[in-house]
Structure 1
Amino acid sequence: MYGIREVLLTQVRGDYSEHLSAGDFKLDCSMGSNPYGTPPVSIPEIALRDLAEYPETDAALVSALRERFAPILDITPDMLVFSCGSIASCMELTRMCMVPGKTIVCMAPTFTAVTDDMATYEPAFKRVYLRPEDNYAFDAQALIDAIEENPGAYVYVDNPNNPTGQVFPLEDVRRVVQAARDAGSFITMDEAYGDYMPDDQSALNLVSEFDNLAVVRTFSKGWGLAGVRLGYTVAQPQVAAALHKVNVPYSKNSIAHELACQAIASGWALRTRERVLRDKPRVLDALAACKNLHVAHSSNGVCISMVYVDDDQIDLEQVFAQAGVRVVTCAGYDGLGKNAVRLNLHENVDALVELVAQVDELAGRAIASGGSSK
């Protein structure tokens, strides 16, 4: 129609942000925002006075990030590319790498908004499924096998994984990146939830060694600034230079720059990680005590988890809604169905633990009634 690509007119997106439940809820555990809210930041008057000007300098934020990650990587200014959130970074990296006939190697399940965008280029997908018989644990060798079988493919991996919240060991990540380089493939490590994992597990440790690697980060999760839309890519200079050519100009606004610098100075992400390490095990323990609910392999320090029931006829999102908890259905994730949900941690852990028990009881009733979650 009028030159619009047909795939864009017919695509049914799996992105969960377009399919969230509406209504009133006791707890909102859906979107992957910081469970503890916004860091102690404010917009100074001088920043408001400068809004008439284009945001031409990244110097203060580059300096703050260099200091933040100095123990694991010497980030020079020509290694950083800023964007409107990590999703924009991932979309731009896809655009950088995509050509007709390209194959994309990725895991399933994985972040749906990225794979939805990839699908608009009509590539061939080689998905490496996390297996239910392994409780959806990461299998590095299966991913390496897929990379070796598809030389020259574009490889996308989110770590920590969305929706399971598991962190892949850095040594496994190194093996995957090495396999990609050996196969002539570029790889993006999407660390949108990376501020929840220890620095020594981040693929940032590998950037100086591998020229086929980009690491994506955001201020939306651990830093508690989802509303300002700021993400960034770290890669070797020649990769960053190529990425700049498909990067939307001025995509980092001046208010986001100011608030991100303040957030880093506050140490909010580090404090958040400490609280998650204290609170999430309580939720995992509550889920482990359930008769009907199961939780996929997950890491204690990451705020999201994937919860599922064995009966694939159960709409688990609706079961959670009956108990007053808003979650994300996993029906849009490749390899999963409506019997699984993504659960974000909530600062009211006591209430969440109590409601998990209620959900388990409701799920049991639904299973006993033959799969109806009503």
Structure 2
Amino acid sequence: MNYKVSRCIVEETFLSYAKEENLSEICIDCYGGINNITFSTNVKNAFEKLNYSALKNYPRGNSLKESIKSYWSRRVDLSFNNIILTEGSINGIYLCNKLFLKPDDNVLGYTPQFPEYAMDVKMHGGNFNYYALKEENNHVFNENEFIKLINKTHKLIYLDNPNNPTGQIISLKQIEKIIKLSKNHDIVVIVDEAYGDYMNTENSAINLINKYDNIIILKTFSKFFALAGIRAGYMIVPNNFYNLINKISNPYCINEIGR
């Protein structure tokens, strides 16, 4: 099912496409997970100039992390110890659950939501509790109702923003309210921003990474950048989580072509 996303949050590339195609609006499908609208010419040029001799070596170096730092530099000052490379955002989900969850641990999310996360929680023997978005309210997220469900038995909170599949956005103010309360209960909040590049950058939870030590943000190049086939993404983590997650992650995440 497709849900309309406000034009004010759609990047210039999409607005240009709409103008060229004489479209009054663009529908972004936050369920299928593939961007069929735009594909950067920079990617095509990069493949044409690819040095195939690099494939004989294991992927290494920090050039991709440098690019990620630069991308976010207008909003936040990131260090290499804030960035962990992943094979798409799904790999970040697996790493978080592997690190934090034990059998019978409780996790709080909401529904509808990316179903793979709840499935992985159950694979670890955990319990996925959820707040149900109400159809009569157009599935709008109400942080006050959600907060009432948070308690000290929860190990993790999972929020996807924008929501998959509705495409609706939780404001950074709402996110911070949840993070602040969760910190009092020693709960880690995972913000899955697989579709986050469709939002204005000021609404990303990455803006809070140097303010709170109980948040993890998941990002991917699959959606907005139309690179699902490369399997590339990254996690933004506070310094206190970097070594822990790095120990259980693949040191060669994202192959040399993807990087």
TM-score range relative to shorter protein: 0.7 to 0.9
1:151 CA displacement = 3.8
Residue correspondence of structure 1 range 71-82 to structure 2 within 5 A:
71-82=74-85
Maintained 8 Å contact 2:101/2:155: no
Distance 2:198 2:50 in 1: 32
Equivalence for 1:158: 160
> How many corresponding residue pairs?
227
Distance 1:38 1:240 in 2: 32
Residue correspondence of structure 1 range 326-345 to structure 2 within 5 A:
none
Distance 2:142 2:52 in 1: 49
- 3-state DSSP class of the match of 1:36? coil
Amino acid at match of 2:116: A
Equivalence for 2:52: 48
Residue correspondence of structure 1 range 78-157 to structure 2 within 5 A:
78-147=81-150, 149-157=151-159
Equivalence for 1:34: 35
1:137 CA displacement = 0.5
Q: Which whole-Å deviations, capped at 9, do the CAs of 1:266-289 have from their partners, x for residues lacking one?
A: xxxxxxxxxxxxxxxxxxxxxxxx
1:248 CA displacement = 2.1
Return the match for 2:65 from 57, 62, 65: 62
Distance 2:57 2:181 in 1: 45
Structure possessing the higher radius of gyration over alpha carbons: 1
1:116 CA displacement = 1.4
1:101 CA displacement = 2.2
Equivalence for 1:214: 216
Equivalence for 2:207: 205
1:223 CA displacement = 1.0
Cα distance change on mapping 1:123 and 1:227 into 2, 3 Å: same
Maintained 8 Å contact 2:97/2:124: no
- 3-state DSSP class of the match of 1:107? strand
Gaps of 5+ in 2: 1-28
Return the match for 1:169 from 154, 157, 171: 171
Maintained 8 Å contact 1:47/1:254: no
Distance 2:242 2:133 in 1: 31
- 3-state DSSP class of the match of 1:254? coil
Cα distance change on mapping 1:241 and 1:44 into 2, 3 Å: farther
Maintained 8 Å contact 2:152/2:186: no
Amino acid at match of 1:244: N
- 3-state DSSP class of the match of 1:172? helix
1:252 aligns with 2:259: no
Distance 1:128 1:31 in 2: 23
Equivalence for 1:359: none
- 3-state DSSP class of the match of 1:127? strand
Q: Which whole-Å deviations, capped at 9, do the CAs of 1:222-259 have from their partners, x for residues lacking one?
A: 111111000100011221221112212312111111xx
Maintained 8 Å contact 1:229/1:256: yes
Distance 1:54 1:121 in 2: 31
Residue correspondence of structure 1 range 6-25 to structure 2 within 5 A:
none
1:111 CA displacement = 0.4
1:44 CA displacement = 5.0
The alignment-based identity, stated in percent, is: 27
Amino acid at match of 1:141: N
Distance 1:38 1:115 in 2: 31
- 3-state DSSP class of the match of 1:72? coil
- 3-state DSSP class of the match of 2:51? helix
Equivalence for 2:232: 230
Cα distance change on mapping 1:126 and 1:35 into 2, 3 Å: same
Equivalence for 1:179: 181
Amino acid at match of 1:138: F
1:47 CA displacement = 3.1
Distance 1:112 1:132 in 2: 18
Amino acid at match of 2:114: F
1:152 CA displacement = 4.2
1:177 CA displacement = 0.7
